[in-house]
Structure formats: C-alpha cells, structure tokens
Amino acid sequence: MPVLKSLQDPNSELVRLLDSLYDGIYVVDLDRNILFWNKAAERITGHKAEEVMGRSCKDNILNHIDENGVLLCLNHCPLLKAMEEDVDISAKVYPTHKDGHRFPVETHISNIRDDQGKIVAGIEIFRDVTHQEEYRIIQEKFKNLIRKYVSTTTFDDVMERAEGDATAGSPRLVDITVMYLDVVGFTGFSERNGSEVTMEMLNELFGICDVITRESLGDIDKFIGDAVMATFTDAKDAVKAARKILDKALPKMNKSRAERGLEEVQIRIGINSGVVIQGEIGTRDRRDLTVIGDTVNVAARVEKASPSNGLMISEATLARLDRKAISAFEFSQKIQLRGKEDFINLYLAKKA
C-alpha cells in the first residue's frame, strides 16, 4: 500500500507536502490507529506527532464533541462512519486542545483506497475556525443589539445595502396600516412616579407591544416618547395586535403592577390605513427608514380621539377588514382633519 507506506516515511515527498499545508491532517487505519499527524495538526491541537502516532483515536485523545455536546470519539466517530459507510463527511466539531480548552474546527473526512479500490484508511482534514466563530458571534450579537434600536424594516434595508442591493432605501409608495399607541396621562404619571419608575414602565409596555406586533406580522417603526408607532401590511393584523394588547397583555401587566404596589397604566390605540411614502430621512451621518404622509398623521389623530383603554379605527381601516372583524366595531364620531375640509368617520371597538 504505497500511500500508507509513504505516510510513515518522514522523508517522503508526500509527508513533506502534507507538512507544508495550513490545515491539520491525520490518517487512521481501519482500526482507527493513527498513522499520520502533520505539522499543522501539532500546531492546532498542541499534540506532537510522537505523542499520538500508533495510538487509536478511540483513546479519546482530542475528546471531540459535536455542536450538540455529544461525545464523538467513543461511539459516534465520524472517521469510523466514513470508512464503514463509504461516505464523505463534513462537520463542525469541538476537540480539546492539549492545554485543556475546547475550540471549534471545520473538519472534512474522506477515505483512502488501495489500488483495487478497497478502503484501507480514513483521512481527516481540519481547520481551527475560532476566529471565524468569534466573528460570527459578534455579528449575531451586533445584529441583535441593532434590532433593539431600529425597526425590522430599517434593519432589513441596511442588510440589503450591505449585500449590494442598489435599490434599497429608495422612496416608494406603499399601502399600509399604521397603529399609534400612547400612555394616557403620561405627564401626570411621570410626575407622580419619578423618572426611574416611569422608564421601567415604558420599557415594560414597549416590550409587550414589540412582541405582540411581531407576532402579528407588524413592525415597530419607532418609539416616540411615550408612544409607539407600528406598521402592518394587513389591516386585520393591526387590529389583531391592538386587541391582544388591550384585552390580554395590558390587564396582565396591570395585575402584575398592582401586586408590586405600582400604579396601573392606561393607553389609547388608534389605527388608520392608506398609502404612504416609505424611504430614508435624516442627515448624511444618521438616517432612518420610515413612512411619512397623511396616513401617518391621521393615525395619530385617530389615536388621540380614542378613549382610555380604547381602540379607535378610521373608516379607511374598517374598509380593509372582513365582516367578522367589522362587526366588532361601532360608529363613534366624525372628525375634521387640520387644514382640510373633509371629515372622516371613526369607529370604536366594542368591549370584549
């Protein structure tokens, strides 16, 4: 078996070639005895060739585990599987360095055959991906951090730009539904409770709104003081989110606050639908992807017309609902928009 004999000759051309590679390489026979261990394997693992040559990888030298923490060397050895099932295997695993710390490697396993095509050994090529993993984790943490401060729409737009989409962020007309929510009597609440309690209350309320909005396929566009502005593609989703906040989440939150001796919170919600301009606004150094237009302004007016712990919607939103959803509302009032002659009809959600 020329290949295996060459691997056992430190002066062979094959060994010199493999020792010059950046990736770690080791070869085992059918009994998983280690026949070869290159210089990169020494550098990556801390184990010298003389320490491992002739030993079996089932001796658990590197104590490999997979991504789920399953120990591989004793019962789930990828090298053994590759040789027994005649397959190539690629995976991310976590061996143990000689000094005791685990580290991630990308490993690729193939079979070595004799002149008759019979499998005589297995070869594993592996690379330390510690830096790549650290970079990936930093990226994910950064993304999760940024998501806390910008809307999903803004985040997705930034990612599209990073991937080279030249049209990302260009102004466009979109038909959406806008939901406004704010705290009733916020000024008095903040004066009675102080800044720390007020901020804790807003974070609690906004956290609830964020979760329910996302569950209802909406997007928090921005937080404005004590108010939340969210957008939805489907008016039914906006109403669903508002009802869930008012009928379930807010009572549960207030019950918890009462048990802690804290003042309860009242809110108003208003919803309007229509065409808006979606695009970037801001300066060269700080930009935000948002929606602007009469539809947004009217949504804010509708919210102001809503009673405490009430949900008010415009006729534009009502028109986008199905019959069952419409039956949950009743006509409330007409309002005239500032600077316009037209009146719009508002509809108040019936109590559940």
Query: Which residues belong to CATH 3.30.450.20 in the chain?
Result: 2-133
CA distance 185 to 205: 15
Q: What per-residue confidence (pLDDT) applies to 95?
A: 85
| Beta bridge partners of residue 46, listed in sequence order | none
Phi, psi (degrees; rounded to nearest 5) at 118: -85, 140
Neighbour-count burial for 58-83, b at 16+ CB within 10 Å, e otherwise: beebbbbbeeeeeebbeeebbbbebb
Q: What per-residue confidence (pLDDT) applies to 69?
A: 56
Q: What per-residue confidence (pLDDT) applies to 68?
A: 52
Query: Which residues belong to CATH 3.30.70.1230 in the chain?
Result: 167-349
Q: What per-residue confidence (pLDDT) applies to 102?
A: 79
CATH class, domain 2-133, is: alpha beta
Distances (CA, A) of 144 to 147, 150, 280: 5, 10, 22
Element (H, E) at 206: helix 186-215
Do residues 56 and 71 make contact, with C-beta atoms less than 8 angstroms apart?
no
Q: What per-residue confidence (pLDDT) applies to 321?
A: 84
CA distance 144 to 149: 9
Q: What per-residue confidence (pLDDT) applies to 309?
A: 95
Give SS3 for 102.
strand
Domain 167-349 has CATH 3.50.40.10: no
Q: What per-residue confidence (pLDDT) applies to 154?
A: 65
CA distance 69 to 30: 26
CA distance 295 to 234: 15
Closest CA to 8 of 61, 47, 49: 49
CA distance 103 to 175: 50
Q: What per-residue confidence (pLDDT) applies to 197?
A: 92
Do residues 349 and 312 make contact, with C-beta atoms less than 8 angstroms apart?
yes
Mean pLDDT of each 10-residue bin along the chain, 352 residues long: 76 89 92 91 93 84 68 78 91 84 88 88 91 72 64 66 59 83 94 92 91 86 89 89 94 92 95 80 61 84 94 90 89 82 86 75
